[in-house]
Chain A
Amino acid sequence: MTSTINSAEFRANNLKTTLVLGVIAVVLAILPWALGHFFESGNSWLRAVDFALLYIMLALGLNIVVGYAGLLDLGYIAFYAVGAYTFALLNSPHLQAVIPEWLFQPNFFVMMLIAAFVAGVFGVLLGSPTLKLRGDYLAIVTLGFGEIIRIFMNNLDRPINITNGPQGINNIPAVQFAGYDLGRPIEFLGVSFEKIHLYYYLILAMCFFIIFVSMRLQRSRIGRAWVAIREDEIAANAMGINTRNVKLLAFAMGASFGGVAGALFASFQGFVSPESFTLMESIMVLAMVVLGGMGNIPGVILGAVIVSITPEILRDVINPLQQALVGRKVVDPENLRMLIFGLAMIVIMLVRPAGLWPSKQRRAELAPKTKTISQQENDSLQDAERNHD
């Protein structure tokens, strides 16, 4: 691709990209202070931002499975749960007595690797029985899987108490990072950083790492193989791609992103319970991917930010709005919030079916001119098998 762009244009593009990235970096660096300065409830906004960052990680993980490999997964939040519980079990006093000492409260990076790995294993566990399924059928099985994980966590307090059932696990300590406890305020250059600020930077850093991994994977041999499977699984197999392994890898990679996000979530909250991992959460993450633009990293990030922040904004806006329009509180703000939010999603999907910021391929796919190959694809080999020759 670079060969077709002449070098002056390339340098100009580079400069522009650097500038944009620089502005984004500055904005992100001062965001916690800006929020605290402009809003009375700055900390609750910052909390919403922290969650938005976690959702970006989740959405990017699901994007690998749904956006690249084209495997519809409705139980994705299970991997978030697995990551969160892995962190909780290894760090809280709950199981301290039975966990070997060397494994208890491991180093931050080791912990992240463990969470990613455990979630990845669960990804393969989900992937292997569903290899032959696609579309609606796959969606139903994954939906079941997501529920199974949640129900297990709800019930694994008997006969041996592992997950502490519906009460969940509390007293999860904050992350220890380079000798600092992120749960306590840290003085740095005369400024005091609170837990919520420290976590903001930690989650932001992990989020950038996940974005980096996503981008690298997309433009690689593996990423191309995923997209090839999404486009035409039979042809991909006939071109030498081991579709079984490559699909399992997509499940494992997607799940490991979820596992990392889950571990950060557990330590940030200090508490996990099965309630946080309902089907609704899976659907929200899927909505982020679809609304933002499947397969396109900037789009997915945008989708995650919009879907996770909008309800928070509406929470603050709806009551004053009702007062101004009608003069009194007519509808419960909580109900109205979800109503407006749902309506907004419907409108966006009607107006921009490919998502807010689709990749150029996806835009082409949904463009009116859809003849040539996609129709011929329907005369697939299954048909050939039925009618032969």
Chain B
Amino acid sequence: MTEVLLSISGINKRFGGLHALSGVALSINKGEIYGLIGPNGAGKTTLFNVLTGLYQPDEGQFTFNGKDLFRKKPNVVVEAGIARTFQNIRLFANMTALENVMVGQHVRTHTGVIGAVFRPPKARAEEAAITLKAETLLAYVGIADRAEELARNLSYGDQRRLEIARALATNPQLLALDEPAAGMNPKETDDLKKLMEKIRDDGVTILLIEHDVKLMMGLCDRIAVLDYGKKIAEGIPELVKNDPKVIEAYLGVAPE
């Protein structure tokens, strides 16, 4: 009944002399919220960038939904069904919120130069569908009223939501969120948690990096803990929380 969506094994990534990831293996099941935690510098974002194609790992295996994604370009990874957001929001600042989400649909649409210039019925229909879906997604994340606003003028929380909407526009099976709750107040964090649960319930698997351990414990189905580029624990939140290795990584001492 649990179906593996993504699996990696033996992933190594070095930056010069620094071994950022060594032999990391994990698998994400369909329909779960999978959390990735670890102290600062543990390699979370590096792993995240490997999983979304921004970094090319040095060795290892990476399969997603039956496809081999080892050392593939980001756009190929997106096409396979993994979408992401960025830790420090990277929207298309001078495009409207609606246009940002429309760009997200690029990979699932086909109109080329000829279609754009002569606008045959097929191209018109596709353009209308793109606009409609973009509006729907903005409503889905709760910022429908900001559609015509430039992304740069949105509030911080709305920018986070817009990034999620833009990622969802690529029709992902796995949505990878890099610290989406960073800088949010408790109310905004709570709203975000509800949004993530809604996305999960609508059939999109979620990979989540987050510093807010309390949020992670309440939200994730399974959690992996990274320390010094190695996976030191994986499992349901209760088990991970009490794992001595995890406590040592966070507090620096092994409990007696």
Chain A contact residues, CB within 8 Å of chain B: 1, 4, 212-213, 216-217, 220-225, 227-228, 231-232, 234-243, 249, 253, 361-362, 364-365, 372-374, 376-377, 379, 381, 384-385, 388-389
Q: Beyond A220-B111, A237-B73, is A225–B103 a contact (Cβ under 8 Å)?
A: yes
| A238 in complex: contacting residue of B18, B54, B115, B119, CB < 8 Å | B54
Q: Which of A216, A238, A361 has the most CB of B within 10 A?
A: A238
Q: Do the beta carbons of B78 and A221 come within 8 Å of each other? A: no
Q: Do the beta carbons of A238 and B78 come within 8 Å of each other? A: yes
Pairs A–B under 8 Å by Cβ, sample size 16: A220-B116, A221-B116, A227-B92, A228-B106, A231-B94, A234-B54, A238-B54, A238-B86, A240-B78, A241-B107, A361-B95, A374-B93, A376-B88, A377-B93, A385-B55, A388-B20
Q: Do the beta carbons of A222 and B95 come within 8 Å of each other? A: no
Q: Beyond A228-B95, A374-B152, is A222–B112 a contact (Cβ under 8 Å)?
A: yes
Cβ of B75 under 8 Å from chain A: yes
Residues of A within 8 A of B42 (CB): 389
Residues of A within 8 A of B52 (CB): 238
Cβ of B9 under 8 Å from chain A: no
B243 CB → nearest A CB, Å: 21
Q: Do the beta carbons of A237 and B152 come within 8 Å of each other? A: no
Cβ of B150 under 8 Å from chain A: yes
Bound together, the chains give a CA A57 to CA B46 distance in angstroms of: 46
Residues of B within 8 A of A231 (CB): 91-95
Bound together, the chains give a CA A260 to CA B84 distance in angstroms of: 41
Q: Do the beta carbons of B103 and A239 come within 8 Å of each other? A: yes
Residues of A within 8 A of B104 (CB): 239-240
Residues of A within 8 A of B40 (CB): 389
Residues of B within 8 A of A225 (CB): 103, 106
B73 CB → nearest A CB, Å: 7
Bound together, the chains give a CA A220 to CA B128 distance in angstroms of: 11
Q: Do the beta carbons of B119 and A240 come within 8 Å of each other? A: no
Q: Do the beta carbons of B127 and A221 come within 8 Å of each other? A: yes
Residues of A within 8 A of B136 (CB): none
A76 CB → nearest B CB, Å: 19
Q: Do the beta carbons of A388 and B41 come within 8 Å of each other? A: yes
Q: Do the beta carbons of B103 and A236 come within 8 Å of each other? A: yes
Contact with A along B189-207 (1 / 0, CB 8 A): 0000000000000000000
A228-B103, A235-B92, A372-B153 given; 10 more Cβ-contact pairs under 8 Å: A216-B117, A220-B115, A222-B116, A361-B94, A362-B94, A364-B153, A373-B159, A384-B49, A389-B40, A389-B43
Q: Do the beta carbons of B106 and A224 come within 8 Å of each other? A: yes
| A224 in complex: contacting residue of B55, B89, B95, B113, CB < 8 Å | B95
